[in-house]
Every structure is written in C-alpha cells, then in structure tokens.
Structure 1
Amino acid sequence: MLKNANSPDELDKKETARLVVDLFHRTIVHHALWFAEVKHQMGMDRALEFLHAATKKSYDVQMHHLSKLLGFSMDDGIPGPLLAMEDKDLIALRDRAAKNWLAGDGIWFQTIESAEGLNEAKRCNDSCWAQFSPFEASSIKKLLDLPESPGLEGLKKALAFRVYGFVNEQSFNDETPDSFVFQMNDCRVQSARKRKGLQDYPCKSAGLVEYSYFARAVDKRITTECIGCPPDPHPDDWFCAWKFTLGK
C-alpha cells in the first residue's frame, strides 16, 4: 500500500494517516501476543493477573500522551469526549463496539473457513473461546469489582456484561438457590441465518467451551450443563440454554 516509499518521511498526509492506523494495530496485536506468551509460560491465572496490571499501566501512559497530543481531557481514566456525549450516543457507541467485536469474530471464522474449510474454522473457533472466555470473565469481574467467588448472583451479573449481552437477547429462568437456567432467546448470528433460510449453525462444540470456561472463571464452584444448543433441536423462544449449578 505504501510500496513506493523508502522512508516514513516520504509519505504524504493520507499515507502517514494510514501508517498511524497500522501502528495502533501493531500495538494491539503486540499487547495480545504478550498475554499469549505469558499464558504459555506461566498459565492462565498468572497471565490474567499480569494482564490486568500491565493493561492499567499501559493504558494510563498511552492515554496521558494521546490526550496531551490531541487536546482532550481525562477524567478518572476516561477520555473527556466520551463523557461529553449524549447518553443515547454513548449507548449507541457501546452497542456498536459490541457489534464490531461480533463482526470481527465472524470475519476471522469466514477467513479460515474460505481458505481451510469448515472443520479447521470450527477447531480454531472452539480453541479461541477457550482463551477468550476466561479472559472476558476476569475482565468483567475486575470491572464490576466482584469477589473471588461471587456465586450464582455474580455469574448472572457477569453474563449480563459479556459482549454477547449487548448484541443478543438473553434471560434467566428456573432459578433455585443452587442453580439457574440461562437462555439465549435471540442470537444475532442464528437469527440472520434463519432470515436467509439457512439451518442453525452447529455451535454446540464452541458453546460447551464458552460457557463452562466462563462460569468456572467467575467462580470455580460452578458447573455447566448444556440443555440444548444447535445442532440440538430447540423451541422457538430460545436458540441455546445452559444450566449453571453451584457446588459445595
């Protein structure tokens, strides 16, 4: 894209802007690779501890310099322009960020599927969830200041704050003191397939990883049981359902 340039000083304004975007991308990927390598060397629990510590320091340093350079204020770690937005616009930005995450997930899947086939894409997808679910649970626990073992109430709170919670419709049912059933009443991916006349995407293998790893990362005492998930048959009012039980 910048094949005629021999040095950054030769770039025009548009090319320099493109380089800036690429530098942000490299920073994000490098951050993720650090986490992946620490996890490989020291295990998930230690990697998550280091991730939170490094992210806090890195974010503070980067936003300090960016806010000075671009001329915006910071308020308790939050960029001033976000706080200046109308409530409805901030909610719209929140939802767009979640939808962008889902789009990125789908693009990765389709990229692998088109090159290597469905089985390879599913294998990579399931393995990715084994990494992302514990991270997301840990991130949400940090965000909500949940205790180490928050029980079923903590899990319900955490499920509401998953990225999927902002793009899908979900509910809690059949609650007892020791368990509850979580239903995905409207799944953006499956509903889109349904509108196109396609069969449900068989996501059970990923779901078994996604939900069990997430619940266990929230509270190690919680076990997960699949009630139904495609390709399983399911009623019209949910696409998948999961039972979470708190052990002793």
Structure 2
Amino acid sequence: MGTEKAMEMLGVAWERSYQVQMRRLSKLLGFSLENDIPEALLNMPVGDQRRLLEGISANWLANDGVWFQAVEFSSGMVDAKRCNDTCWAHFSPFEAWSIKRFASIPENAGLEGLKTALEYRIYALINRYSIMDEGPNAFTFQMNDCRVQSARKRKGLEDYPCKSGGTVEYNYFAKAMDPCIRVECIGCPPDKHPDEWFCCWRFFIPEAEKGKA
C-alpha cells in the first residue's frame, strides 16, 4: 500500500471512527456535542484549553519516556536508542501529515510551511524554541528550553544524548513537509552547546532543489 496510501486511508477511517466513538460516548456519559465536539470543551475558557493541551502533551512525552525505559531496562541503552530512532522515522511523517490536515498547509509548502507546522507540533506546547531567518532559503531552529534536558539539568545530570534521534526526527518531519528541504545539525547533545539552547538545527533549500517539488 505504501505510506502515502496508508495515510489517505487513515484520514478516511479516522473521521468516521471519531464520529462513531464520540456520539456513542456522549450518549453513555450524558454530555452534549456541537459538530461532534463536546460542548464542555468548546465552552472552556481559552486558558483552561491551553492548560489541557499542555497536559496532554506532557502525558505524551511521559509515555515516550515510559516506553524508552521499558526497552532500556530489558535490553539496554543501545537497543532503547535504536528503537527510539526507528519510531521517530515513523512518527515524524505521521505528525507532519496530521498537522498539514489540521492547519490546511499545502503539499510542498517550503520553509514557510515548515515554520507554520513547527508551531503545531506536540513539542511546541511543552518546550520553548526560537526561529531565526537566514533569508528566503534557510532558517535556524533553536530549542531554548527542552522539558527533558531541563529536568536532567535540575537534577545535576548530564544531557541525554539525543542527536541520533533528533537527526531522524527533524529530517523525516521536514521531508514530509517538503522533500526539497534539507537539515543540518548545528549542535545537539552529546555535542557541547551554549546555555541559550540545547539543540540547534538549520533548515534550508539548496539552490538546485528550488522548484523541483
């Protein structure tokens, strides 16, 4: 079937599955829906909605850690990192596909599309980052506050060496947004880094690639 067709089928199945499940749950638990969304969520103050999203994102990250440690304690750090990197190769394209659908980002949207997509990533709700343009064909992305690395720093631990996972994560995410985009790692643990960021990545479109997609 291939990834592209699988994502297309997922989109069709998800919409129908969501309707079926939400309508059944609303009847069982006695809550009202508006356009298949719980009214309680729609009427929730914006600040509470934001905190809910942050909590869901934190749970996602915690679950990632639980799975990592399950493999690490069973098979060791090497296998845990290998599994982690492999999972990012699948999750990053899925996250990019989901964001494109939600935010109506067109295919092959270039660096501007990528910058928009980065705002909608799960990490964007729990980490702090900054983007610096280098002109129309490149920008750098700095992770200024990373929930995982900051927690380790507070405990007096060394940085978690996430460069291999980040390389997979950002390359696959960028490629899913636009195959012309290339990624360069400026620095990521175990690399030494300045206090103002934990990792830094450069996204660019080579002159030879412009207009190909």
In the alignment, the residues of structure 1 paired with residue 90 and residue 49 of structure 2 have an alpha-carbon distance, to the nearest angstrom, of 29
Q: Structure 1 segments of 4 or more deviating over 3 A?
A: none
> Per chain length, whose mean CA-contact separation is higher, i.e. which structure has more relative contact order (CA < 8 Å, sep 6+)?
2
Displacement after TM superposition at 1:74 (Å):
1.7
Of 173, 178, 181, 1:214 maps to 173
CA RMSD, aligned part only? 1.0
Paired position in structure 1 for 2:72: 113
Paired position in structure 2 for 1:125: 84
Displacement after TM superposition at 1:165 (Å):
0.5
In the alignment, the residues of structure 2 paired with residue 245 and residue 170 of structure 1 have an alpha-carbon distance, to the nearest angstrom, of 18
Paired position in structure 1 for 2:197: 238
Of 159, 162, 166, 2:118 maps to 159
* Contact 2:142–2:197, Cα closer than 8 Å, also in 1: yes
* Contact 2:182–2:203, Cα closer than 8 Å, also in 1: yes
In the alignment, the residues of structure 2 paired with residue 166 and residue 43 of structure 1 have an alpha-carbon distance, to the nearest angstrom, of 31
User: 2:141 is paired with a residue of what secondary structure?
Assistant: strand
In the alignment, the residues of structure 1 paired with residue 203 and residue 155 of structure 2 have an alpha-carbon distance, to the nearest angstrom, of 32
Displacement after TM superposition at 1:69 (Å):
2.3
In the alignment, the residues of structure 1 paired with residue 182 and residue 32 of structure 2 have an alpha-carbon distance, to the nearest angstrom, of 44
Displacement after TM superposition at 1:76 (Å):
2.2
Does 1:187 pair with 2:146?
Answer: yes
Q: Which runs of 5+ in 2 are unaligned?
A: none
Of 76, 85, 98, 2:57 maps to 98
User: 2:157 is paired with a residue of what secondary structure?
Assistant: coil
Paired position in structure 1 for 2:45: 86
In the alignment, the residues of structure 2 paired with residue 153 and residue 115 of structure 1 have an alpha-carbon distance, to the nearest angstrom, of 42
The two structures have a TM-score, normalised by structure 2, of: 0.94
In the alignment, the residues of structure 2 paired with residue 181 and residue 161 of structure 1 have an alpha-carbon distance, to the nearest angstrom, of 17
In the alignment, the residues of structure 1 paired with residue 13 and residue 23 of structure 2 have an alpha-carbon distance, to the nearest angstrom, of 15
Q: Which runs of 5+ in 1 are unaligned?
A: 1-41
Specify whether residues 228 and 140 from structure 1 end up closer, same or farther in structure 2 by C-alpha distance, changes over 3 A only.
same
In the alignment, the residues of structure 2 paired with residue 240 and residue 54 of structure 1 have an alpha-carbon distance, to the nearest angstrom, of 37
Displacement after TM superposition at 1:151 (Å):
1.2
User: 1:180 is paired with a residue of what secondary structure?
Assistant: strand
In the alignment, the residues of structure 1 paired with residue 142 and residue 70 of structure 2 have an alpha-carbon distance, to the nearest angstrom, of 29
Output the amino acid matched with 2:52: L
In the alignment, the residues of structure 1 paired with residue 165 and residue 48 of structure 2 have an alpha-carbon distance, to the nearest angstrom, of 33
Of 164, 171, 183, 1:205 maps to 164
The two structures have a TM-score, normalised by structure 1, of: 0.81
In the alignment, the residues of structure 2 paired with residue 155 and residue 78 of structure 1 have an alpha-carbon distance, to the nearest angstrom, of 28
In the alignment, the residues of structure 2 paired with residue 101 and residue 122 of structure 1 have an alpha-carbon distance, to the nearest angstrom, of 18
- How is 1:9-158 mapped onto 2 (pairs within 5 angstroms)? 42-158=1-117
Displacement after TM superposition at 1:46 (Å):
1.4
User: What per-residue deviation string (whole Å, max 9, x for no partner) do you get for residues 109-160 of structure 1?
Assistant: 1111111110011011000100100000000000001111111111011111
* Contact 2:23–2:36, Cα closer than 8 Å, also in 1: no
Displacement after TM superposition at 1:84 (Å):
2.1
